[in-house]
Structure 1
Amino acid sequence: MFAASIAQAQSDEWESLSVAASAYNSLPSQTANNPAIAAWGDRLKPGMNAIAVSRDLIKKGLTHGTKVRIKGLPGVYIVRDKMAARWKNKIDIYMGKDVTAALEWGMRHDIEIEYAENS
Structure 2
Amino acid sequence: MSSSFCKCLILSIPLSLLGCTESAVGEKQMTVKASAYNSVVAQTNDNPTLAAWGDRLKPGMKAVAVSRDLIRQGLTHNTLIEIEGLPGKYRVLDKMNKRWTRKIDIYMGKDVEAAREWGVREVKIRWTPQPTEG
TM range (shorter): 0.7 to 0.9
Write out aligned runs for 1:32-111 (5 A): 32-109=45-122, 111=123
1:114 aligns with 2:126: yes
Aligned AA (2:112): V
**TM-score after normalising by structure 1:** 0.87
Aligned mates of 1:104, 1:95 — CA distance in 2 = 11
- For the residue of structure 1 that corresponds to 2:69, the secondary structure is helix
Question: How many residue pairs are counted as aligned between the two chains?
Answer: 108
Aligned mates of 2:128, 2:36 — CA distance in 1 = 21
Aligned AA (1:73): L
Percent sequence identity over matched residues? 60
* Higher RCO by CA contacts (8 Å cutoff, separation 6 or greater): 1
Q: RMSD of aligned C-alpha atoms? A: 1.5
Unmatched 5+ residue regions in structure 2? 1-24
**TM-score after normalising by structure 2:** 0.77
Once the two structures are superposed, residues 67-115 of structure 1 have per-residue CA deviations (whole angstroms, 9 ceiling, x without a partner) of: 0000000000000000000000000000000011000000112x10001
Unmatched 5+ residue regions in structure 1? 1-11
